[in-house]
Structure 1
Amino acid sequence: MTEIRTPRLILRRWSDDDLVPMAEINADPAVMQWIGDGDVQDLEETAEFLERVEEEWDDEGFGLFAVELLGSGELAGFTGLSVPTFLPELAHEVAIGWRLGRQFWGQGYASEAAQATLEFALQDRGLDRVISIDRTGNTASGNVMRKLGMTLERDVVHPEFGHQLQIHAIDLTEYQA
């Protein structure tokens, strides 16, 4: 079982106990405003999402980690790696992403978890490049990407929803943890 510990977090595979807290995160309009079409997700949609996440772990050898607070054991959300199949021109890339509950924003958890995920991508999975995708205007995610050393490569349009997305990238052969 893949598990990563940081000073404040545990990044781990998903358990059945994570469904309800993740569904609560996905039900928050403030959390979901930058995701897909901005719609919240209910318990059933979250269960389907987590099933796809676990399938990606099985198929690709990487996926989205559940992010747990080390002190309390509380689920903060997720960070991890995925193939951005919703953008066909990037389906050969590996993207890093994150989603945390609103009560965990502004505390550095996303950056801490993402740094650990980049190290995992380089050291454990041997990836030499990782991208990240954010919706234009999502300054919080853009700030995390800059902290990771990622640079803006280009803008694209979401093929389904029509909004602007920004593609950031980092060459992991030059990455300094």
Structure 2
Amino acid sequence: MSLIELQTPRLCLRRWRDDDLPAFAALNADPEVMRFFPGCLSREQSDALVTRIQAHFSEHGFGLWALERRDSGAFIGFTGLLQVGFEAPFAPAAEIGWRLAREHWHQGLASEAARAALTFAFEGLQLPEVVSFTVPGNLRSRALMARLGLQRDLAGDFEHPRLPEGHPLRAHVLYRLGHAEWEAAQ
């Protein structure tokens, strides 16, 4: 299955390249970028994540695209869709996610890329729903979820099963956007 690539006015959502790996490792080693994750990633862990992302594309036909600025060609992070890979009351489901290098925050780039990914999810893949989740304190991501039209599902909040009991990041809030709600907003 060939990888669909997406274009926005400022971004290319594309396949991963080997020359993305150093910049991705730097992004994953930034404590501020990784603030709401269990920890920073080593170069080996970051490279292994890209391998898993590429395998997801091969298996599902979608995944987390590498983000490239069209004006400079710079790799700036990822945005895309993933099958939820753990047991949860809302699974099976497709999740939308993003991670950008800090110097590219506050420019509307995550929003621009996420809108393209949602359009692909609902028009290209005809998904019935897209979810997103994060820890309660990740207010920037939660604000982006709301701007994208995802609605908080209070009854869907959950403890992330991949984190141990008592971990400070185990509690997660759930947001959802159904195909019909997305279509009505277009």
State the secondary structure of the residue aligned to 1:28: coil
Q: How far off its partner does 1:89 sit?
A: 3.5
Q: Distance in 1 between matches of 2:95 and 2:41?
A: 22
How many residues are matched?
175
Match of 1:170 in 2: 177
Partner of 1:16: 18
Residue 124 (structure 1) shift: 1.1
Question: What residue is the counterpart of 1:32 in the other structure?
Answer: 34
Uncovered stretches (5+) of structure 2, i.e. residues with no partner: none
Q: Report the TM-score when normalising by structure 2.
A: 0.90
Q: Secondary structure at the match of 1:30?
A: coil
Note the residue ranges of structure 1 that are not aligned, 5 or more in a row.
none
Question: Contact 1:6 / 1:116 at 8 angstroms: preserved in 2?
Answer: yes
Instruction: Output the CA distance in 1 between the equivalents of 2:152 and 2:36.
Output: 18
CA displacement at 1:72 relative to structure 2: 0.4
Task: Kindly report the root-mean-square deviation, in angstroms, between the aligned alpha carbons of the 2 structures.
Answer: 1.2
Q: CA deviation at 1:93?
A: 0.6
Q: Is the 8 A contact 1:3 1:12 kept in 2?
A: yes
- Which letter does structure 2 place at the counterpart of 1:123? E
Give matches, 1:80-91, under 5 Å. 80-91=80-91
Which whole-Å deviations, capped at 9, do the CAs of 1:88-128 have from their partners, x for residues lacking one? 44441110000001101111111110000000101111112
Deviation at 1:174, TM superposition (A): 2.4
Q: Which residue is 1:111 aligned to? A: 111
How many angstroms apart in 2 are the aligned matches of 1:118 and 1:19?
25
Measure, in 2, the Cα distance between the counterparts of 1:57 and 1:120: 14
2:108 and 2:59 map into 1 onto residues whose CA distance is 30
- Identity over the aligned pairs, expressed in percent? 39
Aligned-partner residue type, residue 165 of structure 1: H
User: What residue identity is the alignment partner of 1:108?
Assistant: G
SS at match of 1:85: coil
1:121 aligned to 2:130? Answer: no
Q: Matches of 2:49 and 2:86 in 1, distance apart?
A: 14
Compute the displacement of 1:173 (Å). Answer: 2.3
* Residue identity opposite 2:50 in structure 1: L
Runs of 4 or more consecutive aligned structure 1 residues displaced over 6 Å after TM superposition? none
Distance 2:49 2:178 in 1: 29
1:22-171 to 2 correspondence within 5 Å?
A: 22-35=24-37, 37=38, 39-153=39-153, 154-159=156-161, 160-161=163-164, 162=167, 163-171=170-178
